Amino acid sequence: MTEIQLKDKKFELFIPEKVIIKEIKRVAKDITHDMKEKKPLFICVLNGAFIFASDLIKRINIPCEIDFIRLKSYQGTQSSGSIKEVQGFVTKIENRHVVIIEDIIDTGHTISYLKNKLNGENSASVKTACLLFKPNALETGVKPDYCALEIPNDFIVGYGLDYDGLGRNLRNIYKIKS
């Protein structure tokens, strides 16, 4: 399937599953290497990061834990700028080495919000791992520590990412057709 339709918008195949998995394996190897002896606590940002988190964490070959936070910032194809915490995590993060797992860093507001929150709770360290990074859309200074793929400023769906709730189940990543 090279072209799909979700509601009023058409999308074309952009990154096939095979490429995504290859890059996730590289990130998992780097995190496994860097976090040895640190028993990292992964915080998966729902909803978008659930597939990435699953494919990433099963390739982390050291003791680790995972918890989840649910945030909302996007409406339609635009970042709304304001971040709503819909559901928080429960694990104590004091003195823990935390790795935030995010689907995509776009304006960077979501990741900045979360980094500030976690730094304020006396964690030992806070790193970020994202599946996708749009460097040209960044409005904050927060760059990811680990990143599977850098992409241009196009709106994309699939592999956990949605357009108005649809498209999260797609195995490949698709970009909007202009």
Residues found near ligand IMP in the complex (CB under 6 A): 48, 73-74, 79, 102-110, 155-157, 161
| Closest to ligand IMP by CB, 123 or 128 | 128
| Position among 103, 111, 142, 148 found at the interface with Mg ion (CB under 5 A) | 103
**Using CA atoms, how far apart are residues 38 and 53, in angstroms rounded to an integer?**
19
| Position among 48, 108, 158, 167 found at the interface with Mg ion (CB under 5 A) | 48
**Strand pairing category for 156-157 and 173-176:** antiparallel
Alpha helices in the chain (DSSP H): 17-34, 50-57, 109-119
Residue 154: burial class (beta carbons within 10 Å; 0-12, 13-18, 19+):
middle
Contact positions with Mg ion (CB under 5 A) in 60-89: none
Taking the complex as a whole, the smallest distance from the CB of residue 71 to Mg ion amounts, in Å, to 7
With CB under 5 A as the rule, give the number of residues binding Mg ion: 2
Which residues in 62-94 are b (16+ Cβ under 10 Å) and which e?
A: eebebebbebebbeeeebeeebeeeeebeeebe
Q: Which does 144 bind (CB under 5 to 8 A by kind): Mg ion, ligand IMP, none?
A: none
Look at phi and psi of residue 7 and say left if phi exceeds 0, alpha if psi is from -120 to 50, else beta: left
Binding segment for Mg ion among 23-31, 44-52, 60-68, 149-157 (CB under 5 A)? Answer: 44-52
- How distant is the alpha carbon of residue 52 from its chain centre? 7
Single-letter code of the amino acid located at 67: D
**Is 106 in the active site?**
yes
Q: Which does 167 bind (CB under 5 to 8 A by kind): ligand IMP, Mg ion, none?
A: none
Binding segment for Mg ion among 4-12, 20-28, 82-90, 100-108 (CB under 5 A)? Answer: 100-108
- Contacts with Mg ion by CB under 5 A lie at 48, 103
Question: Known catalytic residues?
Answer: 106
